[in-house]
Amino acid sequence: MSTVSAIRATRDSHGIVTLTIDDPNQRVNTMNSLFVESLADELDAIENSEDVTGVIITSGKPTFFAGGDLNDLRAASRDRLDEFAAFVRRNSALLRRLEKLPVPVVAAINGSALGGGLELALAAHHRVVIDAPNVRLGLPEVTLGLLPGAGGVVRSVRMLGVRTALQEVLLTGKKHTVADALELGIVDATVATANELVAAATAWIRENAGARQPWDTAGFRIPGGAPGDRGAPLNASLPALAASLRAQTKGAPYPARENILAAAVEGAQVDIDNALTIEARYFLDLATGQIAKNMIQANFFDLQTVKGPRGRKGSQEVWSPQKAVVLGAGMMGAGIAYQCAVSGIEVVLKDVTTEAAERGKSYAQRVLGKQVKSGKITEKFRDEVLARILPTADIADVAGADLVIEAVFEDPSLKADVLREVEPLLAPGALIGSNTSTLPITGLAGNVTDPERFIGLHFFSPVDRMPLLEIIKGEQTSEETLFRALDLARAIAKTPIVVNDSRGFFTSRVIGTFVNEALAMLGEGVPAPVIEQAATQAGYPAPVLQLADELNLELLRRVRNASRDAAQAAGRTWVAHPAEAVLDRMLSEFGRAGRLAGAGFYEYGENGARQRLWPGLSEAFGSPRAELPFTDVKERLLFVEAIESVKCLDEGVLESVPDANIGSLLGIGYPGWTGGVLQYIDGYAGGAAGFVRRAEQFAAAYGDRFAPPASLVAIAGQGGTVAGATHEPELALS
């Protein structure tokens, strides 16, 4: 038996053994090698004992079990496939031993059980969980490019049926509340407090001495039937489910969903032990592939970094805004006001007229009304949120606010006017933020008396659904102001990235290269449908010309003109991008400014509904250029954003790789399978060196904008990675 164990075993007077998982080396329990060795030792002891009457599995930590150790998964490779496969098989076999014990096994779940944690619980014969609001249960592996590899697919299918398991648990990766998990059937009972867990588990064991898994009982049938069963309702729905899955991925490389579907369907047609073997093979295929590594890096490690302390000392007090003022009740201002109010902050929503401010508040009414209708919130909660929003045109209502977020039109003089008007009425030391997407923060800070308290707070539309907040430091922004902005992000449930001041900052600057590249290809004669399909199959959430219409071509031209004027004023030579000619012709020659104007790259109906690509595009921008390989069209979009992000890192606009990756994923729709805009470089075939070689090919064929920056060439020459070339803090699993 190991000298150090992740499990403490105790036995009561009735012969019931309680296994308390409490890894001494980690803040949370994970399915690492220590856990596997410890569980093997405890199972040996239980199997060799004649007087054990039951087993309770619980946790000595605030959470039940956090799942697989992502450091181990990140290190898995095809070069060491046999070694990793042996670990996976042993892990799965241990849970199989657990559920085949000749005594009842109960999972007493004292906190969240996600991924491997729920897989462990599913191997028990009964699951009782504490009914606490922060507890979540689910199998979110698909969000990391994986599938549950410790029996999660096999057992959820046998417990819920193929279709329900796929649609409610496996393909969505949803983290269920206790109530939802109970209704779904992945837990069996709840208790009010942690102190009641063991007692409830003990009572169940004493009443169910002969308990065993349903699938180990003769005559067991999967709910709804297995594929191939005569008359099973599942058979008619499987083709539709597969088609729906293809429609969701739209050709983008998300192999986890395909592997989950295959493992569920194939595993349902054989006995459980063969099903576990099938599941393990599909898991190994994903775990040793690059896409899972990309997604693990971004969705766990990078996300932890951007949500972390960022150098803040533990002694520094967390700031909580009490009264916020949102200046401007347009679409962005209305969304910001809603987000603050729903987070418990009193909000003054100010506009030029009371009518305009009321229209802004009506946005919150619509969003909350939909949530009431769907049962997500109560009418009481809706009314409480709405009561926190005061729509007004009276400047006196601003008095005493400790937070102001300016969200007026992108006009420096207008922003200056509203900030000067409101500042004298604010509470001493109030945080002053501007929701600008492109205008330099340092310049805007000149409009307030204390630039140290001024910071950029770039929200994304629609605010209630977009999770990112880009925080922009001006030249004089203080450290205290930055930490307050980070506190605000947490208070209103936004994921923050922090960048330094520059025109367009990070997100707007990089997404501009994405749109420009599409316009450049259109000008080269690449058919518009090909460009849109390439963006879709690359994994972007919206086709790029459709995005351009939503952004509005007039706005794009204003941003271009402002950038050109600023460059020339600074004495730099402005080099026209090939996209500029397309943009100018769309506006000046064809009068097509985008969706708001009712005509852009697409045609729109009277109600603004998108109908089809404008047929005139082929005649307006057709050219004799040879047809581009479709892979080139896809990769040009991905590469141009990645290269611009390296430039942002070089220039100090970005301070960290995680900020780039998370900002690109959550803010500008960079494809999730890449792991983010800089992880895409490190994860490219051949790593950074392979990316540089491909970029040089693009530069020779399509223009110098694809030339890899010298810093990236140096990293590639050393066989390094972009992430490895910058300091990133160590991360603990949670």
Residues carrying an active site annotation = 458
Alpha carbon distance 55, 15 (integer Å): 9
Check: CB of residue 171 under 8 Å from CB of residue 286.
no
Alpha carbon distance 514, 534 (integer Å): 12
Alpha carbon distance 685, 708 (integer Å): 16
DSSP 676: S
Residue located via tokens 């064809």? 590
Strand (E) or helix (H) holding 282: helix 272-287
Integer Rg of the chain from CA: 28
CA 510, chain centre distance (Å): 19
Non-local (6+) Cβ contacts of 369 within 8 A are 382
DSSP 526: -
CA 417, chain centre distance (Å): 37
Q: Cα separations (Å) of 286 from 77, 156, 171, 292, 425?
A: 10, 19, 15, 6, 57
Helix (H, G, I), strand (E, B) or coil at 171: coil
For 84, the token pair is 């990793």
Alpha carbon distance 264, 256 (integer Å): 12
Burial level of 166, CB count in 10 A (0-12/13-18/19+)? buried
Check: CB of residue 283 under 8 Å from CB of residue 146.
yes
For 221, the token pair is 């049938």
Residue located via tokens 């005493």? 400
For 530, the token pair is 């090909």
Q: In this structure, which amino acid lies at residue 242?
A: A
Q: In this structure, which amino acid lies at residue 213?
A: Q
Alpha carbon distance 153, 145 (integer Å): 15
